[in-house]
């Protein structure tokens, strides 16, 4: 059981190095409030997609309190995590937060998955949050939008 999870994580980690995404929105920061929505460009024919968010401010930590994603794929999603990059699309730290996946809704050959997950995950300043998603098999089309929201916190001096 643990080996299967490790193998899934390894596939997502390695694939995320090759299948990236670029942030298409700017984070909203107002006082301690934070949110950002990203629609990545994921390669068709791949089995994984990484939704990479903007770099966090150099003087604030982010306590992520909610992750929401909507995905439309041709293969069911089997794995999703909230994680941390040390660079814009790579440099994974050894911290991630597994996201609970609901049963996808299938219409024809398309699977629709809606993730809405409360979390309590602290990310350090100047880091890059990301959501890594893996499908059961290669998917001919990825359509994903993810949003993270939370609270900006001053680091302890």
Residues of the chain below pLDDT 70: 1-25
Q: Which residues are paired to 153 by β-bridges? A: 61
Instruction: Work out the percent of the chain whose per-residue pLDDT is above 90.
Output: 69
Distances (CA, A) of 119 to 97, 98, 116, 122: 8, 10, 10, 10
Query: Count of CB atoms within 10 A of residue 2's CB?
Result: 6
Tell me what pLDDT residue 99 has. 96
pLDDT for res 150? 98
Report yes or no on whether pTM surpasses 0.75: yes
Residue range 27-44, pLDDT digits in tens: 999 999 999 999 998 877
Dihedral sign computed on CA atoms, order 56, 34, 69, 26: negative
Query: Do 98 and 9 form a contact (C-beta atoms < 8 A)?
Result: no
Residue 25 confidence (pLDDT)? 67
Extract the tokens encoding 34.
């934070």
- The topology (CATH level 3) of 2-153 is Jelly Rolls (2.60.120)
């Amino acid at each position: 059981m643990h080996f299967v999870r490790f193998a899934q994580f390894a596939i997502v980690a390695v694939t995320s190095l090759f299948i990236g995404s670029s942030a298409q929105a700017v984070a909203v920061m107002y006082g301690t409030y934070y949110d950002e929505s990203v629609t990545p460009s994921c390669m068709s024919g791949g089995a994984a997609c990484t939704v990479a968010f903007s770099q966090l401010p150099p003087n604030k930590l982010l306590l992520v309190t909610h992750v929401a994603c909507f995905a439309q794929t041709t293969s069911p999603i089997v794995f999703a995590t909230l994680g941390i990059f040390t660079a814009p699309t790579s440099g994974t730290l050894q911290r991630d937060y597994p996201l609970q996946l609901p049963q996808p809704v299938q219409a024809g050959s398309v699977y629709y998955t809606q993730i809405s997950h409360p979390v309590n995950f602290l990310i350090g300043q100047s880091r890059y949050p990301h959501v890594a998603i893996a499908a059961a098999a290669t998917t001919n089309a990825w359509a994903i939008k993810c949003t993270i929201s939370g609270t900006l916190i001053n680091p302890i001096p």
